[in-house]
Chains A and B, each alone.
Chain A
């Protein structure tokens, strides 16, 4: 049993664009989960829900050092899965949605989808590596057309991979999330994600400017108490 993909054409187009942003070159930030959640939420007619799910996933990938061969999970695909699996009854007023136990399943589905997306991207890169040897040899012999064709094909393959994977994820994620929710029906995943996000921030926030932490704490207390 699979779920229907809302606004199918736009959803797969968004998947293609976000996959390109994530893997093909200079990222414009839109492939990060919080933005991808907003995009897919908008396409599903549930912008606030999409943004909230994306924000939770963003807390889990706040700092990704994509240095050298580091392989970050595909956060945008995770956001797509989380949006697809969101329950209809959650209210997104204030911060109360962080306590919604029904968000745990969609976030878990998002994490799994992000890791599967990374595996698929790595598979694509291995195929490029297999084809690259011949193209590089021809370029060294004075003919760069094969190298250029392979590069353009890789761009196209990222787009196709993104479109296909988002369609699959939209169809399958609700089922997976339902299994998680059935297994842990009362775990408030929002608070767990926020806690992990705070730790990630603390690791990159400057230790020699601790006054910013204190000022932030004061601002946070003021905001929540007012």
Chain B
């Protein structure tokens, strides 16, 4: 089910006292550290609500546990937790957090890091390559921010509406399939276009440039299967060519 299918107008009315949780949750990653990850960020986001709790100490103690969630999906979880805390159902908030957090993060990580973000970056870089950098950059930025804003706010509203039922409504929190499909198409088109246009242009400039491009494709593919950072692969190829140059490169490498 698409995200929009889950929402009714009533769901989108978020109580005003939950709004600070949304803005404060925006900085969840600022104090990320290996031991408790985003725990300090969660305390920061929920503090205004937790401080109003009659059993303030117990309420604060509940949210000192390690927490880690995708920042696009975290608003839904924070809103549900905030609603439960405001209804004095803190124990349910903790149980729900432990069940839902890994699943929500898994959904968000795939959507954000391997669909939406690369697709927008492809738009930007393609704009630069075709000589329209301003159009490319603004289009990419506009699309990305629009998707981000709609997704995070609707997730927050859905979390606030669902409360303890968030686990049951997880399918409805999935990112829009239309956006994911569009991102897929953009990535596929760019892969083919960059490869062919780059290859033809490199060949026109100099056969050695085409050789360099195809060599980078081969080495890059092998390195990516071994999860080597692309930056190090670049430095490695440059260093290798530097060494070849010392031997005056009989193959005529660039």
Contact = CB atoms under 8 A, between A and B. Distances in A.
B199 to A, nearest CB: 9
B250 interface: no
Given A209-B184, A213-B192, A216-B191, A111 B231 contact: yes
Contacts of A216: 188-196
Nearest to A125: B33
A223 B50 CA distance: 58
Contacts of B61: 139-142
The majority secondary structure among interface residues of chain B is helix
Contacts of A223: 130, 193, 197
A191 B68 CA distance: 38
B178 to A, nearest CB: 14
A187 B238 CA distance: 7
Contact of B192 (A136, A141, A215): A215
Contacts of A187: 238, 241-242, 245, 254
Interface residues of B, number: 96
A14 interface: no
Contacts of B189: 212-213, 215-216, 219
Given A114-B231, A129-B34, A199-B224, A55 B125 contact: yes
Interface in B110-136: 113-115, 117-118, 120-122, 124-125, 128-131, 133
Nearest to A32: B121
A2 interface: no
Interface stretch (A5-13, A56-64, A167-175): A56-64
B144 interface: yes
Interface string A51-79: 11011001111111111110001000010
Given A111-B235, A189-B238, A194-B194, A142 B57 contact: yes
A29 B141 CA distance: 7
B104 interface: no
A84 interface: no
Contact of A191 (B30, B128, B212, B219): B212
Contacts of B43: 139, 144, 147-148, 151
Nearest to A180: B238
B72 A221 contact: no
A58 B125 contact: yes
B233 to A, nearest CB: 6
Contacts of A209: 184-185, 188
Contacts of A135: 40
A158 B28 CA distance: 13
A199 B217 contact: yes
Chain A interface category by residue count: 35 or more
A195 B217 CA distance: 5
Contacts of B215: 192, 195
Interface in B232-254: 232-235, 237-239, 241-242, 245, 254
Contact of B56 (A107, A126, A142, A158): A142
Interface string B161-192: 00000000000000000000000110111111
A198 B60 contact: no
B214 interface: yes
B209 interface: yes
Contact of A189 (B40, B130, B234): B234
A192 B234 contact: yes
17 contacts: A26-B72, A26-B148, A35-B141, A61-B231, A128-B40, A139-B43, A154-B40, A187-B254, A191-B209, A191-B216, A195-B220, A198-B194, A204-B187, A206-B184, A206-B187, A216-B195, A216-B196
Closest 9 interchain pairs by CB?
A: A212-B188, A195-B216, A216-B192, A142-B57, A220-B193, A220-B197, A217-B192, A199-B220, A129-B33
Interface of B: 26-37, 39-41, 43-44, 47, 50-51, 56-57, 60-61, 63-64, 68, 71-72, 109, 113-115, 117-118, 120-122, 124-125, 128-131, 133, 137, 140-141, 144-145, 148, 152, 184-185, 187-198, 200-202, 205-206, 209, 212-217, 219-221, 224, 229-235, 237-239, 241-242, 245, 254
